[in-house]
Structure 1
Amino acid sequence: MTSEGYVTGTESAVAPSGAAAGDPPARGGAAAWAPVAALTLGIAALVASEFLPASVLPAMASDVGVSEGTAGLAVAATAVAGAVTAPTIAVVLPRTDRRTVLLGLLAAAVVSNAVVAVTPNFPLLLVGRLLLGVAIAGFWSFALGAGTHAAPGRDHVVSTSLALGVSAATIVGVPLSSVLGDAVGWRPVFWSAAGLSVLALVAVAATVPPVPAQQGAGLGMLRQALANRRLMAGTACIGLVAFGNFAAYPYIRLAIERVTEGSTVWLLLGWGIGGLAGNLAAGMLSRRLGISVVAGPALLAVSLLALATTHGIAAATVAIVVWGFGFNMMPVASQLWVTRAEPKRIEPALALQVTAFQVAITAGSAIGGAVVDGGGVRAALLVGVAAALAGSIGFGVLRTPRP
């Protein structure tokens, strides 16, 4: 989930993400942006797949014979695999061409969605979701570098494009999958996600040029990034904000149905539209990251609190749109934040950002599910409020790195 702004200060830092010093520049003009569009489609397919359980949760839970809180672990399962994959994939594949890796990850997403679509039980469903987690974390770790290799010096634009792919997935994918799931069942929704992943695989294969690994990629570079105290503190704040969101997001349909049963699709669409606006706002504020990383989590906290305490459809609508706006500022802002905090080791910095998100998704979904089963969805929303507010305060105290 990310979107970008318009910054020039990180241009010199981007070359190591894909192109080594002295490499010829990537193709210019429209040809340079075709790979970015393909990578954006890949992100959209993966994110749509990641959050499908939230839009079909009741039917899926009933079909595989588990509670709704337990079914929310279908989101957490992707994050478990992602939390392991993000910091290790560059270590395991230090020299492998990143285009080859991206294609393999999209193929894994196709298999994952097909497994979920045919699963007869919850354990096999979790296996499929674990495979998707590997695909998501790896793709996120390398997509920005591959995009900036094709369009050098435009990291903020590439990041924005990737974030817009996330927004498209939430604006179209989540509401559409909810409608499709209600009409024909939840399994065809996952077959559709498999088809979209195939389309992304073909697009990346056709347009993305070879992307050499960052020079020196491997365990040593990861260790150096881990020694950066500012980077690690910022990563912790990112984790808090993501935890706050994902303690509540897998259960957003339950939160909506607490207020109204007739406007679910429209409110899910409102979350996605708010997310699109948040992506764009974070991109425009790319020169003012200090504002984005504080304001985004603060808006998230306010919106979750409002949704937990309101019983009116109008207030709930505003809260859900603001929720989408506030949280979706963070993928763009945090991606730029970590690359500025560690400009010489971008691959591991981005891997740590992805890890923070994936760990937070795991913990948030699991704890949120337990809270939902024990105290209802309002309690899960309040857990999200506390974590998002803590992340906002943390970023407010932490000095934002300059470009």
Structure 2
Amino acid sequence: MAPSSSHAQTTLDTVDRPSWTPVVALAAGIAMLVASEFLPASVLPALAADVGVSEGVAGLAVAATAIAGAVTAPSIAVLLPRTDRRRVLVGLLVVGSVANLAVAVAPNFVVLLAGRLLLGVAIAGFWSFAFGAGLHAMRGRDRAVSAALSFGVSLATVIGVPVGALVGDAIGWRAAFGGAAVLGVLAAAGIARALPSIPAHPSAGIRMLREALRHRRLMAGVGCVVLVAFGNFAAYPYIRIATERIDADSTTWLLLAWGLGGVAGTVLAGVAAVRLRLLAAAAPVLLGVSLLVAATASTLPLLAVAIVVWGFAFNMVPVATQLWVTRVEPERVESAMSLQVTAFQVAITIGSAAGGVLLDSYGVGTPLVVGAVAAVAAGLGFALLRVPAAAR
């Protein structure tokens, strides 16, 4: 009887222990898409020269992706209310690969811009569905799922962007986008294999979105997401200028330090999310403080501390806000996530544009200060909003 009981217990433990494979596959997918989103920044001078536009115009390739994402995030579930979510996620990664391939072979800027718009559709759609798919695969482990997906984003910014620059310098910018297309197909194959079939929620579609939009606390939180993301992206596109103001020779390692701080922030956020209201409030405030210090720093050590804390604080925000919107609206996770993604994409577009205007008019310190004010305001907003308790 003892061996039989032992075997039964082992079987039970195996059944109860969730598999990380689907979540790892989802994290790899989002890492590929995010790396693709910021790839133009790695190869901008060569890209601009090859398609015959200025570097400023070529920079629209990133803004176009965010604009397409802002439109796609709230609408994709409305257009695909009953489609199996695994099929949608695989399809979106394939769309992302087609988008990168279009950029790789683009004969002119119009085709390149079309490819970037298509990538925005893939990124926003994938983000909107990935968290719900991860929860389906690992029920009751929302903090782990959110941290894993955000870790994929952090990894993409720390590794993907520098690797893209190296490939672009060694082989050419078109090869960098071609490689991203191939890796996207591999990520799609991984999700097709690792993820179980995920039926759509019975109320998915326009009804779910309409009900989420009527949820006042959710919409107040989405407003706070816009504020904190605006605060970061009013400043982040100009981080290199901020570092060169103090020490141009230290720029590379300071950018790496930002990324490493981001990885640490993502990991810690998954642990600290057990106190979600505190995390959602503290991360934006810490971001605001780091931006203010970066704006006023006059020495390299102080700037380095500010940069690391900046990366640390901001990369806690996606984990905190994903969990916040889905805890507030647990019955409409897809719509809650789509609104969070929309908030980020709108903030990226408006924040980077406003930061550029402030930079040209007043210098690099001003966008950092404005970003700091917006981030602190977001933190205060989250502190005032109650979040329901949930199982770990």
Is contact 2:37–2:65 with CA below 8 Å preserved after alignment?
yes
TM-score (norm 2): 0.89
CA distance in 1 between partners of 2:41 and 2:377 (Å): 25
Gaps of 5+ in 2: 1-13
CA distance in 1 between partners of 2:361 and 2:58 (Å): 15
Name 2:335's counterpart in structure 1: 348
Q: Which moved more, 1:40-49 or 1:112-121?
A: 112-121
- CA 1:54/1:324 → structure 2, altered by over 3 Å: closer, same or farther? farther
Is contact 1:72–1:366 with CA below 8 Å preserved after alignment?
no
CA distance in 1 between partners of 2:148 and 2:325 (Å): 18
Q: CA deviation at 1:151?
A: 2.0
Deviations 1:171-230 (A, max 9, x none): 211233334444444333322322321221111122112110012111111111111100
Q: CA deviation at 1:263?
A: 3.4
Deviations 1:149-182 (A, max 9, x none): 2222222211111111111111211233334444
Name 1:135's counterpart in structure 2: 122
Q: Give secondary structure in 2 for the equivalent of 1:214.
A: coil
Is contact 1:51–1:250 with CA below 8 Å preserved after alignment?
no
Deviations 1:65-96 (A, max 9, x none): 55555443322211111111111111110000
* Higher RCO (CA 8 Å, separation ≥ 6 residues): 1
Write out aligned runs for 1:64-143 (5 A): 64-143=51-130
Aligned mate of 1:225, from 200, 212, 234: 212
Is contact 2:287–2:314 with CA below 8 Å preserved after alignment?
yes
- CA 1:125/1:28 → structure 2, altered by over 3 Å: closer, same or farther? farther
Write out aligned runs for 1:3-402 (5 A): 28=15, 32-402=19-389
CA distance in 1 between partners of 2:164 and 2:285 (Å): 29
Is contact 1:84–1:355 with CA below 8 Å preserved after alignment?
yes
Q: CA deviation at 1:249?
A: 2.1
CA distance in 2 between partners of 1:128 and 1:367 (Å): 25
- CA 1:251/1:196 → structure 2, altered by over 3 Å: closer, same or farther? farther
CA distance in 1 between partners of 2:382 and 2:166 (Å): 38
CA distance in 1 between partners of 2:264 and 2:130 (Å): 22
Q: CA deviation at 1:31?
A: 7.9
CA distance in 1 between partners of 2:183 and 2:285 (Å): 34
Q: CA deviation at 1:390?
A: 1.9
Is contact 2:230–2:374 with CA below 8 Å preserved after alignment?
yes
Deviations 1:218-257 (A, max 9, x none): 1111111111100000000001111111122233333333
- CA 1:66/1:381 → structure 2, altered by over 3 Å: closer, same or farther? farther
Q: Give secondary structure in 1 for the equivalent of 2:204.
A: coil
Number of residues paired by the alignment?
377
- CA 1:74/1:379 → structure 2, altered by over 3 Å: closer, same or farther? farther
CA distance in 1 between partners of 2:239 and 2:103 (Å): 21
CA distance in 2 between partners of 1:165 and 1:83 (Å): 21
Larger Rg: 2
Deviations 1:309-361 (A, max 9, x none): 23433222222211111111111110110111111111111111111111111
Equivalent position amino acid for 2:39 in 1: L
Is contact 1:110–1:197 with CA below 8 Å preserved after alignment?
yes
Q: Give secondary structure in 2 for the equivalent of 1:225.
A: helix
Q: Give secondary structure in 1 for the equivalent of 2:248.
A: coil
CA distance in 2 between partners of 1:33 and 1:272 (Å): 24
Is contact 2:286–2:313 with CA below 8 Å preserved after alignment?
yes
Gaps of 5+ in 1: 1-26
CA distance in 1 between partners of 2:386 and 2:126 (Å): 29
CA distance in 2 between partners of 1:117 and 1:378 (Å): 36
CA distance in 1 between partners of 2:26 and 2:96 (Å): 14
- CA 1:129/1:205 → structure 2, altered by over 3 Å: closer, same or farther? same
- CA 1:29/1:131 → structure 2, altered by over 3 Å: closer, same or farther? farther
Q: CA deviation at 1:56?
A: 3.6
CA distance in 1 between partners of 2:162 and 2:240 (Å): 10
CA distance in 2 between partners of 1:256 and 1:58 (Å): 20
- CA 1:35/1:78 → structure 2, altered by over 3 Å: closer, same or farther? same
CA distance in 2 between partners of 1:304 and 1:61 (Å): 30
Equivalent position amino acid for 2:81 in 1: P
Percent identity of equivalent pairs: 62
Is contact 1:69–1:373 with CA below 8 Å preserved after alignment?
no
Name 1:4's counterpart in structure 2: none
Q: CA RMSD in A?
A: 2.2
- CA 1:64/1:326 → structure 2, altered by over 3 Å: closer, same or farther? farther
